[in-house]
Amino acid sequence: MNPFNGRDLLSLQEWSVEDIERVLELAADLKQKFRIGVTTDYLKNKTFFMLFYASSTRTRNSFEAALTQLGGHAHYLNPKTMRAGDPGAPEAIADTAKVLSRYGHGIGIRIYFPQYGEGEKVIREYAKHASIPVVSMESDVYHPCQALADLMTIREKFKETKHLKYVQAWGYSPDALRVCAVPSSNILLMPRFGMDVTYVRPPEFTLHPDIIQQAKVNAETHGGSFTETDNLEEAIEDADIIYMRQHCTLDYGKHGPEKEQQIIDKYSDWTLTSDLLRLAKKSAVVMHCLPVDRDHEIASDVLDGPQSIVYDEAENRLHVQKAVLSLVM
């Protein structure tokens, strides 16, 4: 009996360290089999519905490729062309979830609303009514598949994660408004694997207090540590891992894009340059979930340099998602 069968993946907080270890073990096996061309049709004739309320390159294509490689099929669904997205009388989430549950074996959803937490509520509403597993493909709060790929990538580079200095840094991007899902997911996950996490951001950009509080609890429980600061240079000093990414303020949905832009523009020097990177350990790696705003969040010479592992992270999305879907579907 597979204990994962039928489980949702909405956040990694709901999966134990042992569960995550099982996913990473299977992901490594699937990665090796993919490399040498071994067939892994574990989901033969199974269907995964992917509802994208928001745009995507990596998530859509890695999930779609995952289903093909596992012998199943992924439906790309744009809710605007579904009854659920009918602007006049949108079909209830409960009805959409129940109907899709009669047709297939899993549902993935990506959704964010301007107001922090509203997208997460929608995903949980689908999960409540679906009788097949629901996988978060990113809400405004969590991006569990990205966090899994990031952890897998770190473990490939370092083997031992205990007391690695992991820096989650806010980065400047004038034109992008990124939700808080990646930094939130990663400051929660990395202390559970013994890392010493420093979260550095300008004063206005702290993550939700519940996330910060839980990150501290995770650190205390699992032997890592958690520090929050607004001093970028001090944070980068002696870092093993620097994950530089912009995220919006929690008030974005209330004050709107114009005010948000004014706040963002106060911090136009928050770019990971090669000078800044020199403060980290020589062996330090640079991470970003992509899409990256080149020369704003991270300088191009750093992104394209030997310390960048951003494409390894992107690749590992495929392998961890294949592992998760094989286990839950």
Contact residues: ligand CP, CB under 6 A: 56-59, 138, 146, 289-291
Do residues 168 and 198 make contact, with C-beta atoms less than 8 angstroms apart? yes
String of DSSP letters for 79-116: GGGSGGG-SSSPPPHHHHHHHHHHH-SEEEEE---SST
State how far the Cα of 94 lies from the Cα of 130, in Å rounded to an integer: 8
State how far the Cα of 176 lies from the Cα of 299, in Å rounded to an integer: 16
Nearer to ligand CP, 57 or 229 (CB): 57
CB of 226 to ligand CP, least distance (A): 23
CB of 137 to ligand CP, least distance (A): 8
Nearer to ligand CP, 69 or 146 (CB): 146
CB of 112 to ligand CP, least distance (A): 11
Nearer to ligand CP, 147 or 219 (CB): 147
Take residue 304 and report the two structure tokens written for it: 């394209």
CB of 311 to ligand CP, least distance (A): 12
Q: In what order do the strands lie in the sheet with 241-244?
A: 225-229, 196-200, 165-169, 241-244, 285-287
CB of 261 to ligand CP, least distance (A): 21
CB of 27 to ligand CP, least distance (A): 16
Do residues 247 and 170 make contact, with C-beta atoms less than 8 angstroms apart? yes
CA pseudo-torsion sign 8, 11, 12, 14: negative
Nearer to ligand CP, 272 or 287 (CB): 287
**Number of neighbours of residue 204 by Cβ within 10 angstroms:** 15
Q: How far is CA 66 from CA 36, 192, 275, in A?
A: 16, 27, 39
Alpha carbon of residue 110 to chain centroid: 11
State how far the Cα of 315 lies from the Cα of 152, in Å rounded to an integer: 10
CB of 58 to ligand CP, least distance (A): 4
Nearer to ligand CP, 8 or 138 (CB): 138
Nearer to ligand CP, 105 or 317 (CB): 317
Nearer to ligand CP, 165 or 288 (CB): 288
CB of 291 to ligand CP, least distance (A): 6
Q: In what order do the strands lie in the sheet with 106-110?
A: 73-77, 47-52, 106-110, 134-136
Q: Which amino acid, one-letter code, is at 198?
A: T
Nearer to ligand CP, 119 or 224 (CB): 119
